[in-house]
Amino acid sequence: MISSLSIKNYALIEKLSIDFSNGFSIITGETGAGKSIILGALGLVLGKRADLSSLKNKEEKCVIEANFEISKYNLLPFFEANDLDYENDTIIRREILPSGKSRAFINDSPVNLQELQELGVHLIDIHSQHQTQELSDENVQFEIIDAIANNQSAILDFQALLKSYKSDKTKLNSLLKKQSDSAKEQEYNTFLLDELVSAQLKSGEQELLESDFEKLNNVEIIKESIDKSLAIANEEQIGVLYNLNEIKVSLQKIAAFSPDYQSLLERTTSLKIELDDISEELNRCSEKLVNDPEQLELISQKLQLIYNLQKKHQVSTVDELIEIQTNLENSVLELGNIEGEIKELTFSIVQKGTALDLISEEIHKNREVSIPVLSNQLISILDTLGMPNARFKIAINETSSYFANGKDELQFLFSANKGTDFGILKKVASGGEMSRIMLAVKAILAQYSKLPTLIFDEIDTGVSGEIANKMGEIMKEMSRNMQIFAITHLPQIAAKGNAHFKVSKSTVNEDTQSELKLLSEEERVVEIAQMLSGTIVSDSALNHAKALLN
């Protein structure tokens, strides 16, 4: 419930601070006195958008602050989900700066308008005559039936499962499209992959093949050069090795005479060892050289295959071809994985569809049981409100489609008088009838669900006399379980309140101001008397007002 409201620099209100009690509160005042301003301020607290026109003094900021007692509203999960400090006595503050910017706070923590709106839904429900048209909205009608049917938990389960079901269907459609789009491309990729796999490519292979090709292709020149080198090195009497050995023998004779000669001997010995090694390596190379035309042809074919593949894929190395091969393998594998995912998703969709059908059947059965209860209670309340012949024809039909709250379609028809056909509410019910139906609906819902603070904004338009008296009694009965506000012009309803507030407008130093005041018992008698007879209060009006209050 809202326990207090503070307004500063808003519209015609310079400064206002008022406390509210639980139970049934009345707000009255002449047309244009500022009742809509109070509702506008509450709307800002609940997250409605604002602009500079809201400021009374354009040079100062507007501040609206409301205290709410929320211990019974089970709102802790909301505060935790939005990382807000939870307090049983929660304070919501809205500020509009002269620059036009707006700020909102919940328990001094800054929040955005969406968060404020989400919380506001749980705090105050404002109903005007205009909003009674919402009764013709199928979603609102379902909410009424489901509250009586106690379907809230089942609908939450259904919605969570439906979200997952739709997500799976979206993924499946995406995969099916991807599979279809990739079919032709995948066929070509498979061909390219087979071509690369059959080539049996290895990293570094091209360089080795090119080296072997050069050797085999020039084997005669190579062998001739190696043999000539060997002859120069090993030929007796004049060969390099022979002569180098002679130098070594000569230096051995004088090495002991000087370190310089010893150094020359060592260097000559190293040359001899190195040349011996070179000679042996030349022999080995000579022995390996074979004129093999068949092997040369094989190497030539493999190199040509590599060159062709490099040209086709516009690369220059075998490693790049191997990378392309890996990517193609992944692509082909991915298509195989898509087929597996499609199979899994199809199975999941079937399973979730079965579960959705079971939950929707439970919801449907609960609704069927609740419809006669709702219809009978509406008829009973409307009878007391001067509509003895009101009748409802409410029917639900199961469909094959999944909606946000099940699989049902709803037909909610109304007839106000005997002998008249049933029709859609907004087409066959007058404004006064719609007001009474809305009140009846709210009275019924108060028995089945924890409603927030209710504000009836001139919902009594179009009724008077005893009917107004009955409406007031219903509101008063509702206030036993919740906080009720009624903005009204009817004295019969005003007299039923536990507290009575008056909105008035005055001019101070050529400045028009609105104020909200809690009336004393004596002031209340006068206010109701004025509602009965006008500005000039007669003794009979005062007596009538006292009678109503008593």
Residues paired with residue 105 on neighbouring β-strands, in sequence order: 93, 110
- Res 379: pLDDT: 94
This model's pTM is above 0.75: no
Residue 345 vs residues 176, 353, 402, 416: alpha-carbon distances, Å? 11, 12, 18, 51
- Res 346: pLDDT: 93
Same domain, 215 and 328: yes
Per the structure, how many domains does the chain have? 3
Within-domain flag for 131: no
Among residues 337, 360, 389, the one where a domain terminates is 337
pLDDT along the chain (550 residues), means of 10: 92 89 90 82 88 81 93 89 92 90 92 92 81 77 92 94 94 84 69 78 82 72 79 77 83 86 89 88 77 74 83 86 81 70 91 96 96 94 91 92 94 89 85 84 84 84 81 90 90 93 84 87 93 85 90
- Res 184: pLDDT: 65
Within-domain flag for 48: yes
Among residues 294, 309, 337, the one where a domain terminates is 337
Same domain, 69 and 198: no
Within-domain flag for 24: yes
- Res 86: pLDDT: 93
Q: Beta strands 109-111 and 124-128: pairing type?
A: unpaired
Distance from C-alpha of 548 to C-alpha of 550, rounded to nearest angstrom: 5
CA distance from start to end of the chain: 27
- Res 88: pLDDT: 93
Within-domain flag for 304: yes
Same domain, 214 and 305: yes
Tokens of 548: 């109503």
Domain span at 538 = 525-550
Within-domain flag for 281: yes
Tokens of 315: 């690369």
